[in-house]
Structure 1
Amino acid sequence: MSSTRIASIFRPDLREVRTLKCRLSITDVKHLASYNWIESDQPTIAVPGCPSLWSPPKTKGPKRVPNDSRLIFIAQNAFRHPESPLEPLFRSLYIEHPWYDMQQIDMITDRNNIRKLLSFINPRISSNGREPFTINVETTGNITIFCRSETETHVVLGPGEYRGHGHEFEKAYTRDQVSGSTGHYRIISYSLGDLKCIVRYETDGFVGDASNQNSRNERSDSEDILGMMENLSLSRFEDHSSSPNSSSLVIQKRGQQVTIHSTLEIKTRVAHKPIPIEEVLPQLWVSQTPNLVRAYHRRGTFEVPKVEDVTKATAEWEKSHDKDIGRLILLIKEIIKVLKENGGKAVVRYDGRSDSLSVSMGDRVMMLPDDLYVKIGI
């Protein structure tokens, strides 16, 4: 694929944080939608789905967990729906909020993209340091869409290959709430400084009996439309647009909403290499995830893990990294500016070595089915 560089964005040029007239923080966090990927021959999601329930084994003491094996997802949305990895975000959002006004939004992205841009701003924030990355970007009207791009969307572990115990730990310590689920994804909105953002991310689970504590306000917008979808279970989604059959995505009406306050991130590691809280706080900050499990093992045998409330630690991290957050806002705004001045489609790349991002034009297909562009209002 040929590409032409149209701009370079240099890290040292992103220092004028004082020019920003906004809070250097995340505010006004709202849950919008959610879904689970379902194991199927066709790309299939369940809306609203439900994350797995944190449910440690009843037996006391350490527990042996097998090695991770077989299929491991790196970017499940791209693996299961390569023609449009972002389509499930929009479909689930419009199911739960049929009249949602996208024109109020500046940026739509996966959490992973924000984490990569933040690690470019300050490589010390990321445990991977200076890691190369690629992000496909498209501007439509006032909205800029950031689409994650990975060289590999999955790995298949063969006999004798070892990549830890993280996935098997989740199987042993959480309980699926949606049959056939292979991952739960959530869509939230918030203000990052003065940027209005929609962010999608995967959630490992939820804690407590939060499934019975959903607020009426959180459910009221979606109950009626979900009731109308009873007959759409196991059938293809049909949008009231000029291209109702333009998608191969199958949508099921299954699951229940869980509040963001109960969501959980799980990290596992060998016991002699503790996970510093500073290592995971950037990820938790981007998704505003309030609960964390850091589980440690010795040759696959895990000590009894505990759930940590990291709300205070995340707020303190945000306060101490306000300059990095300001530079992140400046970087996103600069990427959006370059796109709008150069046709609205580009690829952002970082080589992992230099102090600059390259923005290049290339021949790329549209990120979304035609009917969703109509729905967005472009």
Structure 2
Amino acid sequence: MSKQRHSNAVNLACSGNTEYLNAIGGRSGKAPPFKKRNGQAKPDLGKSPLGELLTTIGEEDCSASLRDLPSDAGITACKYIASYSWLNEKEPTIIVPGKPPLWTPLQAPKRLSVDTGQYFRDPNAARFPRYPIEPAVQAIFESHQAFPTEDIDVFACGSTMGHLLRFVRAVDKPFRFSVQVIGNTVFFVRKENDPREIIPDIRGYSHTFPDEYTTWEADVKGSDTHQRLIQYEFGGSKCLMRFECEGYIDKLAAKDKAKSNSVAPGDNDIFQSFKATSVSQKASNVQDSLVIKTSGSEIPQSSIFDLKTRSHQYKASVDMTDFYPVLWLEQIPNFIIAYHDGAGLFHDIRVQDIRHSVREWETDNEAARRRLAVLLRRIVEAVRADPRGLLEVYSPCKDRLEIRKQVGDGVETLPPVLKARWEEGTTFAVSGDEEPCAMSAEETRSGLEEPDSEDDDGEKDFTACSAETCGYCGRCSY
């Protein structure tokens, strides 16, 4: 089976879907792969002007309200909700539940080619620019006969929540995103300068490495990116979080499957939801030409990982605490860091159970977490109070966040039919057998390395990876 993970979508040049081809680069030649990449561009206010200013929030505003919060604003009650993978098809197509690529390390190292090509910042917007949140919502409804939408306060992603976490940690990176209230839920919608915006100056091996060391399995062959949705409680809010999953480790998934198989029929065990769900693909057209197919299988949260590559010459300067915020937000328990010799040969690849270190980061950053909880509450209250329920969050600098009206009629988050379905909600609860997030399991797992933990609030900008320059790879998850 080919291990190529990020297709350049040239097969789409033979299709007749002109609108979709234009959206991804189409007949002009090599289209950028649909892979999430960091490297935040400054918001272009000339191309997309700001609306009327409603209120501003500073660090002091978040700190002033801490007395209203519990002493510990941590993430609790975390569980898997749904997932989907984008396919390389002539129409925008997802498979539900899909599956992350499998970790399949090489038996012996080989020298890899340096990354080439162009890469989109936001694969969901590039694939489906009109309603980038729709695939996630469709995946939820495909996965649950009845989902209690009225219980969800915030629907966010690693990008939007990452922006807010950096803001309360005084990291100076301008950002903006849209917000809309639908039913009881406030949706945070990622907003780049253009849905098809690409990351400039990609260097290193952050694409060729996963091409060689992970594999899309037969039931999800043709996938390009895997998106995962979890639910948890944070600071008094129930949050849905969408993020891209880099892959999973089979032996860890098998361990949870063994636990599931050991449960007597009828027991309400948390692992029963992770049964094999691989089925034949069945296509159905839905709102605005999004196509949904059913294939793949649900993968336990305890087996997924995030992945970074670095040049070996910068190994001593790599601070693991730079990775912990995203691992905490997305509750990812495993971390793979791979060091190359500067010319594409990876001899030092570390697979780590990172949960204990992330919990230490969580403890050390209690003040920032509590400020984040206050900030979430302020944004939710503002958009719920707005007559249209359509606002925008904009931060021009590290000590100022603005809540503004959207310009003109605003941009709807979901198509009318799907919006109405979310607003209707349901009195039925999600079944209680979803797997809890792996951060709540045992602190370490034997056989995997545990990195040293450091108390450091500094946050570097990992925007490239090159032996000739900085050693960074541009794979920061938010």
The equivalent residue for 2:301 is: 260
For 1:310, give the aligned amino acid: I
* Structure-1 separation of matches of 2:168 and 2:272: 40
The equivalent residue for 2:438 is: none
The equivalent residue for 1:142 is: 184
Q: For structure 1, list consecutive stretches of 5 or more residues without a partner in the other structure.
A: 124-128, 238-245
Aligned 1:92-241 pairs, distance under 5 A = 92-123=139-170, 129-153=171-195, 162-177=202-217, 178-212=220-254, 213-214=256-257, 215=260, 233-237=282-286
TM-score scaled to structure 2, two decimals? 0.70
Does the 8 Å CA contact 2:174/2:398 hold for their aligned counterparts? no
The equivalent residue for 2:319 is: 276
Q: 1:367 to 1:135 in 2, by over 3 A?
A: same
Which of the two has greater strand per residue?
1
Kindly indicate whether residue 288 of structure 2 is the aligned counterpart of residue 247 of structure 1: yes
* Structure-1 separation of matches of 2:135 and 2:376: 23
Deviation by residue 1:296-332 (Cα, 9 ceiling, x = unmatched): 1122222230210001001111111111000001001
Does the 8 Å CA contact 2:304/2:334 hold for their aligned counterparts? yes
For 2:366, give the aligned amino acid: D
* Structure-2 separation of matches of 1:133 and 1:162: 21
Does the 8 Å CA contact 2:306/2:336 hold for their aligned counterparts? yes
- RMSD of Structure 2 on Structure 1 (CA): 2.3
Q: 1:154 to 1:83 in 2, by over 3 A?
A: closer
Deviation by residue 1:97-135 (Cα, 9 ceiling, x = unmatched): 120101111100111111110101113xxxxx4111111
Deviation by residue 1:166-191 (Cα, 9 ceiling, x = unmatched): 01111111111221111111000001
The equivalent residue for 2:92 is: 43
2:333 to 290, 296, 309: 290
Does the 8 Å CA contact 2:100/2:246 hold for their aligned counterparts? yes
Task: Compute the displacement of 1:12 (Å).
Answer: 1.6
Deviation by residue 1:59-78 (Cα, 9 ceiling, x = unmatched): 2xx43121112242311001
Deviation by residue 1:33-73 (Cα, 9 ceiling, x = unmatched): 001011122111011000011111012xx431211122423
* Structure-2 separation of matches of 1:35 and 1:210: 20
Aligned 1:81-92 pairs, distance under 5 A = 81-92=128-139
Determine helix, strand or coil for the equivalent of 1:14: helix
* Structure-2 separation of matches of 1:253 and 1:141: 28
* Structure-2 separation of matches of 1:140 and 1:156: 30
Determine helix, strand or coil for the equivalent of 1:252: strand
* Structure-1 separation of matches of 2:62 and 2:284: 48
* Structure-1 separation of matches of 2:332 and 2:146: 27
TM-score scaled to structure 1, two decimals? 0.88
Deviation by residue 1:10-37 (Cα, 9 ceiling, x = unmatched): 1221113232036410011100000101
1:349 to 387, 394, 398: 394
Task: Compute the displacement of 1:140 (Å).
Answer: 2.1
* Structure-2 separation of matches of 1:157 and 1:64: 25
Task: Compute the displacement of 1:154 (Å).
Answer: 5.1
Kindly indicate whether residue 52 of structure 2 is the aligned counterpart of residue 4 of structure 1: yes
The equivalent residue for 2:420 is: 374
Determine helix, strand or coil for the equivalent of 2:288: coil
For 2:423, give the aligned amino acid: G
Does the 8 Å CA contact 2:77/2:233 hold for their aligned counterparts? yes
Deviation by residue 1:215-244 (Cα, 9 ceiling, x = unmatched): 4756866989x79x96x723314xxxxxxx
Does the 8 Å CA contact 1:97/1:221 hold for their aligned counterparts? no
Aligned 1:29-68 pairs, distance under 5 A = 29-59=78-108, 62-68=109-115
Does the 8 Å CA contact 1:219/1:257 hold for their aligned counterparts? no
